Amino acid sequence: MNFGDFKLFYWLSCLALGLVILSPTLAMVVRLPGGERFSELWILGPEHMAEGYPFNVSESGVYKIHLGIGNHMGDLEHYLVYVKFRNQNESLPNNVNGTPSVLQPLFEYRVFLEDGGVWERQVLFSFEGVSREGNLSKVLTLSLNGSAVNVDKVAAWDQANKGFYYQLFFELWRYNATASAFQFHDRFVGIWLNMTVAV
């Protein structure tokens, strides 16, 4: 090894050692491209598991689920979750073109969530003013965590599935700083509810 090769080896070794020593500081300053960026939205049952969801419901019961959001977008996010209630014929969000349901939200949750963060809330819901007439079922009021709202929803008897079906669902919206507005984030979850038990 001649002197020139030794000198090059020395400088490359110093540079490599310097990068190793500075790597913790560089990691705080330089952001490397991450993996896929996404948000999660989920519902868990009353025992905080992906099972045991309320299904057969009546006016006399109070039902429990857990709603959650996970942020994997790479930055602090401002989320909005709309709570909506529909019968079996009303619209859901459209997965193909990424549009939300046209139904008006009944409740909302606003959440600031850091990257890698998780937010969860217990959701208690019940119904009031449930009635039946012939092949129609009507729900006047939905209560969510003690706050009641008039829904005035009618469901027709579903002959194939033998029930009066409603759906409680949650849409995830995300704040877009460029547009200065919340935009539908193409995520929603819901549970079907069968209002056929005795009132």
Task: Tell me what the pLDDT averaged over the chain comes to.
Answer: 90
pTM surpassing 0.75?
yes
Q: What is the pLDDT of residue 74?
A: 94
Please list the residues that pair with 130 across neighbouring strands: 139
Judged against a pLDDT cut of 70, whether residue 170 lies above it is answered with: yes
Q: How far apart are CA 149 and CA 151, in angstroms?
A: 6
Instruction: Give me the pLDDT at residue 143, please.
Output: 97
Sign of the alpha-carbon torsion through 146, 107, 46, 164: positive
Annotate 81-146 with DSSP letters as a single string: EEEEEEETTSPPPBTTTTB--SSPPSEEEEEEE-TT-EEEEEEEEEEEEEEEETTEEEEEEEEETT
Among 11-15, 57-61, 104-108, the range with the most confident prediction by mean pLDDT is 104-108
CB-CB contact of 98 with 184 (8 Å): yes
Q: Which residue(s) pair with 69 in the sheet?
A: 41, 119
Query: What is the Cα Rg of the chain in Å?
Result: 26
Residue 20: the pLDDT is: 72
Identify the top-confidence range among 8-12, 21-25, 147-151.
147-151
Q: Is the pLDDT of residue 199 over 50?
A: no
Task: Please compute the mean of the pLDDT values over residues 44-51 and round it to a whole number.
Answer: 96
Strands 136-144 and 107-113: unpaired
Q: Which position has the higher pLDDT, 196 or 62? A: 62
Q: Which CATH class is domain 38-194?
A: mainly beta
> 94-121, pLDDT tens digit by residue?
988 889 999 999 999 999 999 999 999 9
pLDDT on residue 197: 65
User: What's the rounded mean pLDDT across residues 51-79?
Assistant: 96
| 141 closest CA partner among 109, 191, 107 | 107
**CA angle in degrees (0–180, nearest 5) for 196-198-199:** 105
How does 31-49 read in b/e, with b if 16+ C-beta sit within 10 Å?
A: eeeeeeeebebebbbeeee
At residue 30, the pLDDT reads 59
